[in-house]
A and B are shown apart, each in its own frame.
Chain A
Amino acid sequence: MKWIVNDLNIKKQADDLGISIWQTPSLLFLIMGIISIIVMIVVYFVSRNHTSPEYLILAETFVTVTIFVAGNMIITSVEKLTQINKMKSEFVAIVSHQLKNPLTGINWDIELLISKYKKGLDQKQLDIIKKINGSTILMTRLVNDLLDVVRIDQGNLFVNKDKFNIEGIIKKTIVKNESLTRQMNVEIRVEISDNTPQIVGDEKRLEVALDNLFSNAVKYNKEGGVVVIKVEKKNKEINLCVEDNGIGIPEKEQAQIFEKFYRSEKAIRKETGGTGLGLYIAKNIVEQCGGKIWFKSSEEKGSKFCFSLPLA
């Protein structure tokens, strides 16, 4: 069984947890077991020769103390690991939060400049400002992703219950990714009927989820590829699918792609930038909003990622 092998691979476990070998809970547990067995054998031989209750009680106390001490060491080790983990989460939360204020300042000032004080700027200047804007959008996305991951880990991801038209976030997502789409030379199609009913969920967060699926579909596409966003009403839900004819996900990696920090080998070869957080976050957001997320993919043919959301 896989978990037994994992448990016995103590060197790897210590590396994964970032602690020394003798601190790994599995090793401590093994030691505790071995000591207990040895002690019991000793007790057995002792009790065979000495039948007086004093000896037996002494021997039993010895066994209890051994288990207690070893058990205590295991608990301390686990506690320490949890504490380190919590500190890491808090560190990421504080840093990202501190980054957010200045980033908001940059974003808002660029927006103010472009939307209200554009007069007198020539095309070249505007182009440069747009490039700056593109970079800060990327950076904002990264900081938000980190914060979201910490919140998901802490079970602290809040979602609003907005009623809204899904078309709005589709439009915003397409606009937001315009330069990426142009760069990749990918064609975008949207299939949605005019009378699509409103859905319920966190509009801002679902925009993030859709953005993650959509930007993947564009990024991992082929030159001149197509991305289709399709919205359908099914019973009491709306299904939204993002389909591409890009590089696809190898079958052996498909089970892992929703895992935190997981990046497909193929994805890394195609596009080195990326954190492996997009799908993990998208999944958590959709599920927190009461929906489901799923996908189909075949290598070299493309992927189709869908999520469902309850109607308003």
Chain B
Amino acid sequence: MNKKKVLVVEDDAILRQALTEFLEADNFSVIVATDGEEAVKFTKNNKPDIILLDIILPKKDGFDVIKEIKEDDNTKDIPIVLLTNLGSLSDIEKALALGATTYLVKGDYQLKEVMEKIKEILFLKK
């Protein structure tokens, strides 16, 4: 089976590294972006199978990233999992309205559970 490609968009180096290592150990291929502009660029160039997206990011925030990805026909079907510590009703509603597939509050999830969610989305979709 082909390795699934995951784009990890996270500006916090420690969280980014933990996510990346865990994903790679679970047999995913990982691309990382550290700000919003990279996120959009890498999505267009690399066509990941799924995107893990933080909201508070340098240069361009997560909401704008979703907008741009959803506006482009080539990338609009890529599922976006928001992985953030913002957990207020208004943030979540805004993200879901923009087209995010699901919303996970980072601090509430173990890495194992994040992986389960990713697999659920990837394999339910196909």
**A residues neighboring B (CB under 8 Å):** 97, 100-101, 103-105, 107-109, 111-112, 115-116, 140, 143-144, 147, 151, 154, 156-158, 160, 204
Contacts and interface: CB of A to CB of B under 8 A. Distances in A.
B106 interface: yes
Contact of A104 (B85, B87, B92, B103): B85
Given A101-B15, A105-B15, A156 B88 contact: yes
A111 B111 contact: yes
A152 to B, nearest CB: 11
A143 B107 CA distance: 10
6 contacts: A104-B15, A104-B106, A105-B12, A109-B18, A111-B18, A111-B22
Interface in B12-36: 12, 14-15, 18-19, 21-22, 25
Contact of A105 (B14, B21, B109): B14
Interface of A is mostly: helix
Contacts of B22: 108, 111-112, 115-116
A39 B13 CA distance: 70
A100 B85 contact: yes
A158 B87 contact: yes
A116 B88 CA distance: 33
Nearest to A93: B88
A144 B109 CA distance: 12
A151 B85 contact: no
Contact of B85 (A101, A108, A160): A101
B110 interface: yes
A143 to B, nearest CB: 7
Contact of A100 (B89, B106, B110, B111): B106
B71 interface: no
A108 B93 CA distance: 26
B86 A97 contact: yes
A105 B17 CA distance: 10
A115 B26 CA distance: 11
A151 B103 CA distance: 17
Contact of B89 (A97, A109, A147, A157): A157
Nearest to A157: B89
Contact of A108 (B86, B103, B108, B111): B111
B44 interface: no
B104 to A, nearest CB: 8
A7 B75 CA distance: 62
Contacts of B107: 100-101, 103-104, 107, 140, 143-144
